[in-house]
Structure formats: structure tokens, C-alpha cells
Structure 1
Amino acid sequence: MPRRKQFNGICSDTLASFVSRYNDLDGYWALGQYATFLMQAGEQHLQIQLQENSRLPARSRFSASATYYRGAVMRLMAANEMPPNWLADACIIFSLTGPTNAFCEIAITSDLGKVYRANRTVEVKPHNPLLEHRRSGNFGPSNQRGE
């Protein structure tokens, strides 16, 4: 029998995938691209809403991430036999905390209003295509295999 407390595991699993080196966009590590975007925009936080029709900052190309992680949450819920209507809201927040550090957090709100969270601090360098090797093959988060 499913329980809403399973959102704790879903938060943890989704965040592990998000901070993974296999999370890439256009063949490059996504977190490095987020860091570069925030530095160029002069901002500290990037919030990726995982709801349908959510908006991302202007000039960002991160809609693939929002789509993938929205689907990941729904797939994990289905695997745990949780009804989709238990999900009221979900977002991932990427915050720069230093020149090479970022704080990543996911928050999932259930239909009963309880918020479940997981967070991690990671080392991240800004994206530099001259110093990075591009992953070949189909682009998008490589952890998307088996969608």
C-alpha cells in the first residue's frame, strides 16, 4: 500500500540523478551550464518548476531538464503505486554558494500540503566547452535512458 512518506525516497533519488555527472544538456554537464547561466545573469538561484506549463528564466535552454525531472518524479511515483493526484507541487533549486560550490535542493509538496525535501552541496565549475569533452550520441540527460 503506497504512503505519502515515499516522497522522501523520491526526493532523494531525483536529486541524486540531478547532481550526477550523467545529467547533461547538449552533451555537456548540466550543472556547469546552470552555473554559467547564473554567473552571466548575475543571479544566485535557478528554480526549475516541475509542473506542467512551468516557466523558466528568459534566455535559458533548460526546458529539457524540467521535462525530464517532471517525468522522473512521475515514473518514481508510478513505480511506488502512488496516484498522480498526490503531487501538488515540485521544484528543484540550484543555488551558487561560492565560485565552485552549489547547493541543490528538491522540494515536493503533497496534496495534503506536507513538503518533502532533499538537498546536497556539490562542487561545480562553470561550463567551458574549450576544456570539456562533449558526450556523443543522442543529447539530453544521459540518465534519461529507459524513460
Structure 2
Amino acid sequence: MARRKELKNIASGLYGSFISRNNDIGGYWGIGKLCLLAQQSETRKVLLDLLARSVAPESADFSKLVNGYYLFLQKQLATRGIPGEWVHSAIIELDFAPDDLNGKHIPITTWGNLFKLTVAITDDMKKNHTVYGYSYCEPHNPRKESKSAGAERF
């Protein structure tokens, strides 16, 4: 029997997949490309609305990525027998200048600047199922990065 509390597990799965280095766009890390979008748009946040299949700030370059994660969400709902009507919203938010570290020290594990990734699924009863974490990245720069030789994920 499906339960709304399983939406937190789905949010966690989306988070893990999205932050992964396997999340690539054209052979480069998707988060680095989204960081470049934020920089070019002079904003600190990028929002991916999975149900609307949109990105803010707007960019057609990420439609394949958003559609891929929309399908990921739909597959996870179907696998757990959760009706799509239970999901009111599904947002992936990247904040490239987070200021709410909640007193945490985030160790530097790679090069770049700190960012916060949040995946929030709101159900039809207005309950939030949210997962977040921090990591580091730089805006996409093909001169500094190696392009993946594997098949493009999205």
C-alpha cells in the first residue's frame, strides 16, 4: 500500500542521482553547467520544476535534463504505486551562494565554491518531503574539465 511518507525516499533518490558526477549534459557535469547558467544570469539560484518541466532562469539547454528527471520521478512513483495526483510539486533547487549552513562546517572535498542542493516534493496535503546537502563546484569550463567518453545520460 502506497504511503505519502515514501515521497521523502523518492526525494532522496532524486538528490543522489542529481548530485552524482554521472549527471551529465553533453559529457560535462550537469551541476557545473547549471552553475554557469546562474553566473550568466546573474543569479545565485537555479530551480528545476519537474512537473512543469521548466528551468528558471529559462534555458532550452536543459530541457533534456529536466525531462529526464521528470521521467525518473514518474518511474519512482509508479514503482511504489503512488498516484501522480499525490504530488503537488517537485522542485530541485541549486543555491550557488548558500548562507544558511545551520552551523555546519562543510569540508572541502573538491575544487570550487560551496553550493546547496535541495530536492523538495510537496504532496497534495501540503506536506513537504525535503532532502538537502552541500558540495562544491565551479561554473562549467571545458578548458578545465574532461569530457565524459560514456553515453550521455540525459
Same fold by TM-score, threshold 0.5 exceeded?
A: yes
Deviates more, 1:60-69 or 1:19-28: 60-69
What do residues 2-42 of structure 1 show as CA deviations (whole Å, max 9, x unaligned)? 10000010011110100000000011000111111111221
Q: Give how far 1:58 is off.
A: 3.2
SS in 2 for 1:61: helix
Q: Give how far 1:83 is off.
A: 1.4
> Are the counterparts in 2 of residues 11 and 108 from structure 1 also a CA contact under 8 Å?
yes
Residue in 1 that maps onto 2:63? 63
Q: 1:1-147, aligned counterparts within 5 Å?
A: 1-52=1-52, 54=54, 56-97=56-97, 100-141=113-154
How many residue pairs match? The answer is 141
Q: Give how far 1:55 is off.
A: 5.2
Give the structure-1-normalised TM-score: 0.87
Any runs of at least 4 consecutive aligned residues in structure 1 with deviations exceeding 2 A, and if so which?
52-60, 136-141
Q: Give how far 1:53 is off.
A: 5.2
What do residues 36-84 of structure 1 show as CA deviations (whole Å, max 9, x unaligned)? 1111221100010011453542345111121111111111111111112
Structure 1 unaligned regions, length at least 5: 142-147
Identity of aligned residues (%): 28
RMSD: 1.7
Structure 2 unaligned regions, length at least 5: 99-111
Distance change in 2, residues 1:74/1:138 (3 Å): same
